[in-house]
Amino acid sequence: MKPLLSKTTKPFIIYVLIVLSISVPVYYFVVDFIWQEELDEHNTIVAEKTSYDFNQANMNDDEIQQNITLWNKIQPGTNIEKISTNQIKPDSIFTIEKYKPFSTDKKIERYRCLKKVVYIKNVPYLFTIETNIEETEDTVMIIGLITGFFFLLIVMGLFILNRRLSKTIWEPFRNTLEKLKKFNLNSNDKIDFLKTDTKEFEDLNESLRKLIDHSVSVYATQKEFTENASHELQTPLAILKNKLDILLQSKDLTEKQYEIAEEMNRALTRSSRINKNLLLLAKIENNQFENFDIQLDELVQQCFETLQEHFQQKNISVSSFINSKVKAIGNAALTEVLINNLLVNAIRHTPNSGIIKIKLNENLFQVYNSGTQKLNSDLLFKRFSRFSSDNNGSGLGLAIIKEICRFHHWEIGYSFENDFHIFSVKF
C-alpha cells in the first residue's frame, strides 16, 4: 500500500526525468546547428568584407598581389587565390576534421569551411576560410548540468511543498478516516466530521453522513426485529412444545395418534432450533457481540467433556492434542458455539466405531473425523445444505461457523486427506 502523495509525485518526477533525458541530445543538435549557421554567416561576412577592403584600397595590381601574399601568411585559416574564369564554381560550405595547426595538442577538431569566389578589381579570386567550431559537447554538458540542477531543485521543492500542503489540505480527509475507523454501530454516537472549505471533502462528508444515518437506522430496525423475534417467537414455540409433551404423556392416545404427536414434537423441536440459529446468525451479521481475551484450550476442553456421552453412544475413538495456555481475541460465547458445532458435526457424520481427532495450538484448531468421500466445498458452508440423510440437524451449523469466523476475522477451511474430513480454523 502506497500513500496518495507518492502516487501523484512519482509519475510527475518520472515524466520530468524523461523530458530532461530527451532534452540533452536536442540541446546538442540545436546548439550545434545554430553555431554552424552563425559560423557560415561569419565566414561569408569575412570574405565579402575582405574583397570590399581590397577594392576600396588605392592599389595597383602588384601591390594587391603583394598584400594578398602577406594576407595568406599572417591570417590563419584563410587563403586568397587568383583563378581563371573557367575555374569559377558556386560557393560551397562544408565541415572538416583535422589536427589543430600551430599547436602541440594533437586533438582532432572540427572546422567550418567556406569556399567563395570574390572579385578584386574585377578579377576573380577563390577565397577559402576555415573557422574552428568551439566545443559543443562542453557547452551541452554545462547546459545539462544547469538543467539537472534546476530539475533537482524542482523535485525537492515539489516534495517539500507536497508534504507541507498535505498536512493542511488532507487534514479533513484524515480526520474523516480516523472517525470512520473508530465508528461502531453498537454505540449510538453520531459522527461530527471536521468542517472544510474543500468542496470534494465536504461532499464526501455529506455523503458519509447520509450513509451512516441510513445504516444506523437499518441496524436499529434489524436489532429491534431480532430482539422481538427472540422473545415473541420463542414463547409460542415453547408453549406448543410444552402442550405436546403433556399430550404425549396422555394414556388415552392411540398408537397412531402418538406417532403423529411425536412427529409434530420433532418438527417443533427442529423449528425452535432453526429459529434460534437464524436469530444467532442475524446477531452475528449485525455485530451485536463484543470481543475479549478468551482461553481457547479451556473452551475446547469443556466442549470435549460435554460431548463425551455422544462419543460413547457411537463408540467413536477420540484422541485430542490440545496445547495449554492458548489465547485469542474473540467472543467467548460465539467461540464456544463454533467449537461445539464442529464437534457435533464430526459426531453426526462419523460412522459407528469411527475416529475423531482434535488438535489445538497457538494458530490453529482442527477437527478430524473419519469418512469415505470428500464433501462439496462449494456448498459446504451454505445455509440448509445437507450432505447426509440425517434430518436432526438444522442445516445451519456450518453456516454459523462461517459467520463466526468472519466476525472474528478467522479463516475456516476444509480438506479431505487419508480418509479423514478435516475442518481447520486459523486464528
Query: Is residue 97 one of the residues assigned to a domain?
Result: yes
The answer to whether residues 144 and 123 touch, using CB atoms and an 8 Å cutoff, is no
Query: Is residue 2 one of the residues assigned to a domain?
Result: no
Residue with cell 481457547: 296
Query: Is residue 209 one of the residues assigned to a domain?
Result: yes
The pLDDT score that the predictor gives to residue 36 is 86
Grid cell digits, residue 25: 541530445
Both 112 and 62 in one domain: the answer is: yes
Both 191 and 96 in one domain: the answer is: no
Grid cell digits, residue 191: 459522527
Both 207 and 248 in one domain: the answer is: no
Both 108 and 182 in one domain: the answer is: no
Both 279 and 297 in one domain: the answer is: no
Rounded average pLDDT per 10-residue block, the chain, 427 residues: 68 80 79 85 92 89 89 87 90 86 71 92 92 70 78 80 77 85 73 83 88 82 72 75 81 82 81 74 74 88 88 90 89 89 89 92 91 81 62 69 88 91 91
Neighbours of 207 (CB within 10 A): 10
The pLDDT score that the predictor gives to residue 384 is 64
Query: Is residue 225 one of the residues assigned to a domain?
Result: no
Residue 262 CA to residue 195 CA, distance in Å, equals 66
The pLDDT score that the predictor gives to residue 154 is 80
CATH of the domain at 71: 3.30.450
The pLDDT score that the predictor gives to residue 114 is 94
Both 376 and 275 in one domain: the answer is: no
Residue 421 CA to residue 366 CA, distance in Å, equals 10
Query: Is residue 401 one of the residues assigned to a domain?
Result: yes
Query: Is residue 382 one of the residues assigned to a domain?
Result: yes
Residue 197 belongs to domain spanning: 172-216
Entry pTM:
0.49
